[in-house]
Amino acid sequence: MKKSDVLVIGSNMIDLMTYIKRMPVAGETVEADEFSMGFGGKGANQAVAAARLGSQVSLISMVGEDSFGEQQLANFKAANIDVTGVGIGRKNSGAAPIFVDPSADNRILIVKGANSELTPAVLDTHLDLIQNTKLIVLQQEIPLETNYHAIDLANQYGVPILLNPAPANRHLDMEHVRRVDFFSPNETELATLTGLPTTSMDEISRAAQRLVDMGVKNVLVTIGSRGVLWVSASTSQLIDAVKVDAVDTTGAGDSFIGSFSHYFAQGETIPQALRHANEYAAITVTRRGTQKSYPTAKEVAKMYQPS
């Protein structure tokens, strides 16, 4: 079979977006400014971002046998994502109520639904996809055991792995984390995983170094408007973010992971891929929505001079 550039193993959700002035307190009803539905889920978001940039992307995921599942499959196909690894589960499709405040910050709930049925046994039915890719991308909206099995298989076949530990789980098995090539938390997830404070850049750097000291190869800490910190045994570099006026940060981290995966799979060095991923994510936060905010390669080219 033809080799993909990026294989994403992960979740998909229907995003239920509500734009609010403030969150209501218990027992209170508050009128919201706007509501919209869109496609989301960390795995799906990352797959779509890479595909929009032109990568050949395959996805292993689970949808429900419902209208949301049908819409998800149609969305993947429209994005030119290979869906041979997308199965239909017994539970409803995953959903994510999202609340966005005037400062563009978001609060997200997730209902995993069929995503919880993406088990290690499912991966064993798609070994051809796992063997024939340049990079495997994982997150944590699916069972941890599935991610561990994916890491085992990727190591067996010599395929590089990126693990985005979101949402964070403090019980994450570090033995498996040591065997991924890229480990990319945000600063909040980094604090949960290390038990260290991550308020200042010095604290973030120390926490990332703690992971490297534990054997993690490359730690990529996304820090919102401050950029991304890359720490390994031989380097510690802050790649500054592009300064923009954000209107909605929902899905920005996923756009970063997906675009970094694309650029790395296309042969860019780690610093080049990080810089270009920062540029990509900067565009997404100037638009509302999740996947619908993700630009194509042509749109990115219009925004930035080639470098």
Q: Can you list the domains of the chain with their CATH numbers?
A: 6-11+41-90+115-303 (3.40.1190.20)
Known binding-site positions: 13-15, 41-45, 141, 186, 222-227, 248, 250, 253-254, 278, 284, 287, 289, 293
| Tokens encoding 21 | 């002035």
Distance CA 6, CA 64 (A): 24
What was the pLDDT predicted at 306? 55
What was the pLDDT predicted at 92? 97
Q: Is the pLDDT at 307 greater than 70, yes or no?
A: no
Local confidence band at 2 (pLDDT 50, 70, 90 cut-offs): confident
Q: What percent of the chain has pLDDT over 70?
A: 99
Known binding-site positions for substrate: 13-15, 41-45, 141, 254
Q: Which helix (H) or strand (E) holds 129?
A: helix 127-131
- In which residue are the tokens 């045994």 written? 233
What was the pLDDT predicted at 212? 98
Local confidence band at 49 (pLDDT 50, 70, 90 cut-offs): very high
Distance CA 227, CA 240 (A): 4
Q: Which of 33, 152, 245, 254 is the catalytic position?
A: 254
| Tokens encoding 226 | 């401050």
Q: What is the pLDDT of residues 147-163, one digit of tens each?
A: 999 999 999 999 999 99
What was the pLDDT predicted at 105? 85
Give the residue with greater pLDDT, 290 vs 78. Answer: 78
Mean pLDDT, residues 127-137 taken together? 98
> Catalytic site residue 82?
no
- In terms of Cα–Cα distance, which of 304, 9, 1, 303 is closest to 154? 9
What was the pLDDT predicted at 305? 66
Q: What is the mean pLDDT of the chain?
A: 95
Known binding-site positions for ATP: 186, 222-227, 253-254, 278
